[in-house]
Amino acid sequence: HSSETERNSEECERDVEDVKMAEYMEGHLEEEFNGMISGVTNFGFFVMLDNNIEGLVSNETFSEPFFFDKEKEIIKVGKELFKLGDEVVVKVISANKESGEIDFQYIGRVETYEKVKKKY
């Protein structure tokens, strides 16, 4: 009984954290952040920002065909490959405090983005 109660408590704690993170990100819509790919799935990839907030870049946000290789844990979009640990720049496109979900749009690779920014 106590193990089940502990699991329920941990799940509740994660849910509250998700809601608070989404609530915080509601104030940062349309802002860009650096982050690292923390998970890849058949519906997109998760990005962990430098402030430890995680959100999803959905495959629906890409205009090119999206391919997920479960075995290699990589995603291919057009000519680009995405894998765990890749550093990317994302823009916050939505945050829902009721569901605790945060959605990002992929902007580019950190190293490429920083080089272009320095030119201007």
DSSP assignment letter at 97 = T
pLDDT surpasses 80 at 109: yes
Report the percent of the chain where pLDDT is more than 70.
Answer: 92
Alpha helix stretches (DSSP H) within 1-120 = 2-25, 110-119
Report how far residue 66's alpha carbon sits from residue 25's, in angstroms, rounded to the nearest whole number.
Answer: 27
Mean residue pLDDT of the chain comes to: 89
pTM of the model: 0.84
Q: Residue 35 belongs to what H/E stretch? A: strand 32-41
For residue range 11-49, list pLDDT tens digits in order: 777 778 888 899 999 999 999 999 999 999 999 999 999
pLDDT surpasses 70 at 108: yes
pLDDT surpasses 70 at 93: yes
pLDDT at 103: 97
Helices (H) and strands (E) in the chain, counts: 2, 8
Pairing of strands 80-83, 74-77: antiparallel
Q: Which residues pair with 94 in a beta bridge?
A: 103
pLDDT at 5: 79
